[in-house]
Amino acid sequence: MNDELEKLKGDVKLPLGVLVRRTLKYISSEKGGFILSLFLLALNVVLDSISPLFTSAITDELVKDNINIKLIVNLSLLSFAIVCINQLFLYLESIILQNCGQRIIYRLRKEIFEHIENMSLNQFNEMPVGSLVTRVTSYTASMSDLFTGVLVRILRDLATLVGVYVIMFFISPSLSLSLLGVVAVVFVISYIFSKVVRGIFRQERACISDINTFLSENLAGMKLTQVFNQEKTKEEQFNEKNEKLRQQRFNVIKAFGVYRPLISFIYNASIALCFVQGIRYGLSAGEIVAFYMYLSKFFNPIQNLADQLNALQKAFTASERIFNLLDVKPDVLDKPDALEIEDFEGRIEFKNVWFAYKDENWILKDVSFVIEPKQTCAFVGATGAGKTTILSLIVRNYEVQKGEILIDGININDIKISCLRKGIGQMLQDVFLFSGTIKDNITLHDESFTIDEINEACRYVNADSFIDRLPKGVEEEIIEKGENLSQGQRQLLSFARTVIHKPQILILDEATANIDTETEVLIQQSLEKMKSIGTMLVVAHRLSTIQHADQIIVLQNGEIVERGDHQQLLKNRGYYYKLYQLQFDN
């Protein structure tokens, strides 16, 4: 459990070899494009590497007593033609890489989002929303840089280093060998630098995720912050997180502030060595100029590698957190041989069910009951008694630890989750509405529903009482979370959304809470109609709303203490009777 939690938070460190192998797997689907890019890269490196030879030949010609102007012109034109061809290769390589890279990132984002969709509510409770958003957007952007440029640029720089050194060795083996010590020093410094920077980037990514989570949570709860005058406190908390991020960014700057000047110093020292040793070894003017140009081409990739290492470390740190998320196995999954069931009769049975959100802190203890098809069953009890948990278990938001839940005699674990949830309509206290039209929120963008079906569903649940008064009717735009509608209007829309999808089992969790009296009358009328749809399970604190239920199950501390209809329970004068007296005495 702790390992899974660490993966959710992105705290599990993966070996570099594992990161590389898993990252390269995504390239395999686009290997044709990458192979073509590598071919163009090879041509680019070859053409770029031979260009100083033309300058060398022109320089040697210029120092002669009899200058061959025609030769110089021809060499210059040939050099210009090679540059033009080289730029064309670079353009084609860039287009191919961008297309391949964006297709990979498209699939990666899709994979992450689908994986998140399959995670259970229990896992979502452990994972801040802001951190998930960061992984889908920010981290995949870092991975995009890797596929669309960083990898190929690193390969180009490495190929350039090898190609340039081979030509330098061809020009002067002695001078080239004398520079090997300098090369060794540069690579040792670069290796140490990459090790240091990777640790810094891992901490920086953690800070970014933390600040995004904080922003996501506090922007959503801004109303509460303002109501309780907590702006100053939240500002201090944000500044603390912001300062941690600033420090990590500054650590990156300090690392590069040491690395780049050091490489630049070694480069300038190498130029001086080139001129001194070049004269000593008897090189011609053209050869010394060529060697100078190759030194520049040799050290440019090394300096570029610092930037590429920067991007590479960011990408690997991002991939580590992405792979951590993808490695978390969803708690709730279909069995390989899960059944596809189109319709349910609606018989629900709990057999000795035990459930805990964590460890053995049991929320439900040995709960057993049967609800017959078309019955209305209400669950009553104090807050934390386990009422909502029962409803969540029926739709497999969570898995039970002991016992089993049956629908029509079939264990719900043997039914495909999509089929199970399709047959169960849920209406909760906190209605979530998406940005878009009323129609979109009722149909959930299912184009198979006709406008007549939408209007009929609205009339069935009395939602037409307010929709018909809106200027655009069902085409009226809803802002984020439905803030331009009242609580009661949002609830009626959730009823319409449920009815139009034609479930055989209905779940109402505090659906009439926090509703004004006038709207409650409309909702009660809707509920009476909806009883004919199928089996109905209701959780309600207002006992007046469940008096006509066929069965009332009374829960206390996760156990069933009473069951029966309203009149029977009142006659028993037990726990239900006390709750009833408390409400109606008040």
Each residue's pLDDT tens digit in the chain (586 positions)? 455 555 555 567 788 888 888 888 888 888 888 889 889 988 988 888 888 888 888 887 777 777 788 888 888 899 899 989 989 998 998 899 888 888 988 898 899 888 888 887 777 777 777 677 777 777 888 788 788 878 888 888 888 888 888 888 888 888 888 777 787 888 788 778 877 877 787 788 788 878 888 887 888 788 778 877 888 888 999 999 999 999 988 988 888 888 888 888 888 888 887 778 777 777 888 888 888 888 878 877 877 776 677 778 778 888 888 888 888 888 888 888 999 998 899 999 999 999 998 878 899 999 999 999 999 999 998 888 999 899 999 999 889 999 999 999 999 999 999 899 999 988 877 788 888 899 999 998 888 899 999 999 898 888 888 899 989 999 999 887 777 888 888 888 888 898 898 899 999 887 666 566 666 677 677 777 777 788 999 987 778 778 888 999 999 999 999 999 999 999 999 999 988 888 776 5
Tokens of 346: 């609606």
What CA–CA distance (Å, rounded) separates 475 from 478? 9
CATH classification number, 2-326, choose in 2.60.40.10, 3.10.129.10, 3.40.50.970, 1.20.1560.10: 1.20.1560.10
pLDDT of residue 455: 92
d(CA 98, CA 148): 5
pTM: 0.69
CATH of domain 344-423+546-586: 3.40.50.300
Q: Give the 3-state secondary structure of 279-336.
A: HHCCCCHHHHHHHHHHHHHHHHHHHHHHHHHHHHHHHHHHHHHHHHHHCCCCCCCCCC
Q: What residues does each domain of the chain span?
A: 2-326, 344-423+546-586
Q: Provide the β-strand partners of residue 402.
A: 354
Looking at residue 5, its pLDDT comes to 56
CA distance from start to end of the chain:
45
| Residue 534 half-sphere exposure toward CB, CA atoms < 13 A | 22
**All residues at 6 or more sequence positions from 269 whose CB lies less than 8 Å from its CB, including other chains:** 182
| Distances in whole angstroms, Cα of residue 406 to Cα of each of 77, 338, 350 | 83, 14, 6
Residue 283's Cβ-side half-sphere holds a number of Cα atoms within 13 Å equal to: 27
DSSP state of 485: S
- Sort 156 into a burial class: Cβ within 10 Å, 0-12 / 13-18 / 19+: buried
- pLDDT confidence of residue 570: 92
Rounded CA-CA distance 437/496 in Å is: 14
- Beta carbons of 524 and 532 less than 8 angstroms apart: no
